[in-house]
Amino acid sequence: MRVLALGSPLVALSMASADDTCIAAEWEQDTSYHMGAQNDIGHMASTDAADCCSKCKGTDACKAWTLADGQCWLHKAGGNRQHSGGVVSGFVSHQTTRTTTTAAPTPPPTPLAPAIPDPAVTGPVQVYVMMGQSNMLGEGHVEGWSDETLQHATAIDGLYPYLVDEKENHWSQLDHVRDVAVMGSGGPDGTIGSLHHNEWMSVNPTKKNTIGPELGIGYAMGLNGTKAPTMLLKSCIGNRALGWDLLPPGTKEWEYDYGNGKVSVFAGYGESPSKWDKGSPKPDPASWYAGLQWDGDINRTHLVLEDLATYYPGATSYEVAGFFWWQGDKDMRDPGYFTRYEFNLVNLIKQLRTEFNAPNAKFVTASLGQTEMGSTSGDGKILDAMLAVDGESGKYPEFKGNVATVYTHPLSEGSSSSAHYGGNAKTYMNIGEAMGAAMNKLLAAENTISV
């Protein structure tokens, strides 16, 4: 495990020795630190990187620096790296590599030996594909001191201690779990779309200063489960329905009776528009078709995997070991979609395994946080569908031991999926932890040999 700088102080730091400062070999070329105004001390003219580091060393509270265009920017902490040609950044003191031994809230993590990325990665990378809509994409707030942020949760509430190396006042980092996230709207266009993440698992918010469930998943698996090289590969975008945008191949048309003589026909995979009145001529196709976002998200996933070493340094092979699915907000608004959700979810699981030639890949889904057991509204029907596909329900024997549903209402800190849970990072962390634990359980059961 390595460490990255945390945006605001959590504990007091001791001064480094003179022999352990301004280590040129550790300076980061073509990289700038963007730590925000609360962590910037100021700037001054500087001749080179060594001079800039020396200036930081001689300034109270300065721990990191960035040299850009002859100006030395001084920071109270370093991190939030961005590529900047010709820019050099670094820390005053030596940055160590260590393993986190602090316990997670529940269950406690098992400390791992340091897993430093090596050009010769041993064995195939275990890939876990993450799909869904905006809450899977991530809307949990990271920086700031209001009570919904991750900074507040770790520094003030004392939650998720495994995210922080308290001794060094840094965010921790898992060096065997890779965080990759791409996003594109619609179908394949020959690109991966927008690249949101491509780094080792750590607190590294997007430009929106937000996280999704990947942190909770990644640390739950990395600390309590797999020691194999692992990649969480997220490919999704917001405002997408399973019954329309993400409809998987092989799904046929279906009908829904709204009452009062109104029956609608819903498009099968590849058809357009989304629905039309039964008995009426089928309207002209729209610019979108059923499953267009599925096609795009799947293609973007394949493009990442075809260029594996770019996203997992040193890797030469992979296998898709599992899937994470968090979605349902858009489907809950139309009975034609939510009454069909179970059928479509079963098809989704099967098609994902077929698409990635992964018949034994595990599948974990999570419900909408606001939905309580027994709800009869649209979101309740989504929950019922997810509980039905759980392998322990017995309804689908082929899913026993390889499909799990996480009931998230007890884990949510309030608000709703439509409102992105108020941006509360604890909701995203709690649900991520539970999804990771559910995946660990499925994997452990597969590896258990009965005597």
Instruction: Please give the pLDDT value at position 6.
Output: 42
Contact yes or no for 334/274 (Cβ under 8 A) = no
**116 or 107: whose pLDDT is higher?**
116
What is the token pair recorded at 361?
A: 């890949």
Phi-psi region of 29 (alpha: psi -120 to 50; beta: other; left: phi over 0): beta
Query: CA dihedral in degrees (280, 283, 289, 290; nearest 10)?
Result: -10
For 369, 407, 413, 418, 422, the CA distances from 410, given in Å and listed in that order, are: 8, 8, 8, 18, 16
H/E element, 379: helix 378-389
Calpha distance 323→294 (Å, rounded): 14
Average of per-residue pLDDT across 55-68: 92
As a whole number, the mean pLDDT across the chain is 88
When comparing pLDDT for 6 and 387, which is higher? Answer: 387
Residue 381: which of 427, 414, 334 has the closest Cα? 334
Q: First CA to last CA across the chain, in angstroms?
A: 36
Residue 151: which residues within 8 A CB-CB, separation 6 or more?
Answer: 7, 8, 142, 143, 144, 145
Rounded Cα distance between 390 and 325, Å, is: 13
Q: For the chain, what percent of residues have pLDDT higher than 70?
A: 87
Q: Which region holds residue 135: left if phi is over 0, alpha if psi is between -120 and 50, else beta?
A: alpha
Region 99-113: what's the mean pLDDT?
A: 32
Q: 17-91 falls under which CATH superfamily?
A: Hepatocyte Growth Factor (3.50.4.10)
pLDDT digits (tens, 9 = 90+) for 294-312: 999 999 999 999 999 999 9
pLDDT tens for each residue of 13-39: 223 344 578 988 788 887 878 766 667
Total residue length of the chain: 451
**CA atoms 369, 374, 377, 379: torsion sign:** positive
Q: Please report, for the chain, the start and end positions of each structural domain, with discontinuous segments joined by +.
A: 17-91, 125-243+290-447
Give domain 125-243+290-447's CATH architecture. 3-Layer(aba) Sandwich (3.40)
Q: What global pTM score does this model have?
A: 0.76
- B/e letters for 302-326, b = 16+ CB within 10 Å, e = fewer, are ebbbeebeebbeebeebebbbbbbb
* Distance of alpha carbon 270 from alpha carbon 281, whole angstroms: 18
Which of helix, strand or coil describes residue 189? coil
Q: What pLDDT, in 10s, does the model give residues 328-371?
A: 999 999 999 999 999 999 999 999 999 999 999 999 999 999 99
pLDDT at 246: 98
CA distances (Å), origin 294, targets 138, 236, 309, 312 = 19, 9, 25, 24
